[in-house]
Structures are given as C-alpha cells and as structure tokens.
Amino acid sequence: MALWALVSAVGLAVDDRVLVGAPIWAKPFKFFVSFAAYGLTLAWMLAQTTWGRRTGWWAGNVVVVTSLVEMVIITGQVIRGKRSHFNAETPFDETLYTVMGLTVVVLWAATLVIAVLLLRTRLADRATAWAIRGGVLIALAGAAVGFLMAQPTAEQRAAGDLDTADVIGAHSVGVPDDGPAMPLTGWSTTGGDLRIPHFVGMHALQLIPLFLIALVLLAPRLARLRDAELRLRLVRVVTAGYAGLVALTTWQALRGQPLIHPDAATLVAAGVLLAAVAAGVWAALRTAPEPVSVHPVSVHTETEPASGSKEFTA
C-alpha cells in the first residue's frame, strides 16, 4: 500500500485527468495511504492478543486480501478513466463495483472478528485495553457509514430509473458528487458528505491509541500523568467524545449540511459535546491524586566513641 501510494503520487503529478471534479489519481492515493495506516494499526493490535491467535492470523490475512482486491479495482478503473464507486454504466463496471461491495463486507467482518479477539484479550494496562477496544469499535462504526453511500440517493429514487442509471449511490447528500469541494479532502462545501464520518470514524483506530501514547510520553514531565488510573479516565473521556463526534458528523451529513456551514442545531450539539468532554477531563483531573514529592532522607547510625559518650553520624 505504501509503495502504490508513491506511484499514485506520481500519477497526481503527471496525469492531469479529472474525474468527478477531482484529480483522477487522488482517490487511489488517499485509499492507499489509508489502507497502509489501517494495516499497520491492525497488525500492532493483533500482536497484543493472547486469545485466538490462529483466528486472528486468518482474519488479518482476509483484511490483506480484500484490501488488495479493492485497490486493484480502484487503480484499474483509474487507468481506464472510469469511476470505481457507484458505477453502473456498463455490465463490466457494475460487476466490478459489486465485487468491491462484497470485499468491503468481508473486510468489515474480518475486522469485527479482530475486535472480538481484542475484547476477549486481557491486557495488563487497562488504559491500553480501553484505547485499543474503543478505537477498533468506533472504526467499525465509521466503516459501516460507507454502506449508507451505496444506497440510491433520494434524487436517484425520484428519477425512477435505477435499472438503467449509470450511477447508483453517492458520497454527497442533497447535491451532486462533482460539486464544489474542500481542497485536499474533496468534501462537499454545498451539501452533506458521508465521507466525513466515514473518515473520522475509521481513523479512531489510530487516533485514540495515539492519544494514550501521548499521555505516556508526557508522564515523565507531568507527574500526574504517571497515575495509571488518571490515564484510564482520560482515555475513557476521549473515547466517548470521539464516538460523539462520529455521531454528530453523521447526523450533519445525513441532513445535507456541509461541514463548514453548520446550522444552529449542529452548533448547539457540538457545544454540548465539547462541554461534556471538557467536564469529563476536569472531573478526571480533579479526582486524581496529587503527585507525591520525594525528599532525601537522612539515615543515622549510632557510634560509641572511646570517651563513652554517644554521637550520631549521618
């Protein structure tokens, strides 16, 4: 995946074709990078398992194979100058998209198996266990948002020609997929975009464990973070807040609302979520024990001088 991300980067530089309003090599580049991070993280998580390691080995290889099939199709369609997702233009394109849909379902199921193994694995550090389990469960929820994209949109249903339509499904909600978009991400600026909760949710797999790693790295400088219970409480708060963010961005997208143009309801919900996370962090810090200062201790031994009087030496 990392190697082909570099190849896709070259494609971005030398191939000026545009597809669905974006450089044609942008999609494979982002997918290759995402799958590289996904594979590395799952490999690390599988290394933590102590139960069902044989099952985990098989599940990991299923993730590898389905990821490769997905990327072969996406890259092949780029070479042909065709869109890979939602393409029903010809029987061949429709078959490729159907295969992609099946591989995603199998990949999701294999990740679910890994999640079950992680839930059953007893890890010595509870904060690490919580970060890994929370990350993989939220990632599964984020991946499941992708299934919503595969459904015909309201506009496609209203047209009433699903049997002959060239495109079935969409990233965007309420607007065409090739409309105005944010730079780099390509997310819609005029309507909802289900890729946002999909992206945010899936990368919980990396971001929540990275948050814990940051706490551990800061512990030598911040004495309070040396307390394992405090780290556990902070990870719990961040995990709950992250799950709330996935829910919020999904709700916003399904209402056909751009990320950068939230309405009053979205702003209120975001404020409540932010306040809840801040209150959770404050409560965790407030209940944490104060770090104990360690002072040098003088140890005295008693000696008996020749004169018979006692004196103490340190």
List the pLDDT tens digit at each of the 314 positions of the chain. 999 999 999 999 999 999 988 999 999 999 999 999 999 999 999 999 888 999 999 999 999 999 999 999 999 999 999 999 999 999 999 999 999 999 999 999 999 999 999 999 988 899 999 999 999 999 999 999 999 999 999 888 888 778 888 999 999 999 999 889 999 899 999 999 999 999 999 999 999 999 999 999 999 999 999 999 999 999 999 999 999 999 999 999 999 999 999 999 999 999 999 999 999 999 999 986 766 554 555 444 444 444 444 443 33
* Contacts with 55 (C-beta within 8 Å, 6 or more apart), sequence order: 113, 117
Contact 131, 209 (CB under 8 A): yes
Four-residue CA torsion sign, 22, 179, 86, 266? positive
Q: Tokens at residue 211, please?
A: 């948050």
Each as own residue / partner, the long-range contacts of residues 23-27 (CB below 8 Å, 24 or more positions apart, any chain) are: 24/78, 24/81, 25/78, 26/186, 27/74, 27/78, 27/84
CA pair distance 113, 117, nearest whole angstrom: 6
Phi, psi of 23 (to 5 degrees): -55, 135
39-50 per-position pLDDT tens digit: 999 999 999 988
Q: State how far Cα 75 lies from the chain centre.
A: 23
156-178 per-position pLDDT tens digit: 888 877 888 899 999 999 999 98
188 forms beta bridges with 181
CA dihedral 185, 190, 191, 192 (to 10 degrees): 30
Burial of 92: CB neighbours in 10 Å, binned 0-12, 13-18, 19+? exposed
* Contacts with 296 (C-beta within 8 Å, 6 or more apart), sequence order: none
CA pair distance 125, 271, nearest whole angstrom: 32
* Helix extents (H) in the chain: 2-14, 26-47, 53-80, 91-120, 126-149, 154-159, 195-202, 204-218, 228-254, 264-287
CA pair distance 211, 27, nearest whole angstrom: 28
The amino acid occupying position 162 is L
CA pair distance 90, 106, nearest whole angstrom: 25
Shortest CA distance to 138 belongs to which of 210, 233, 52, 241?
241
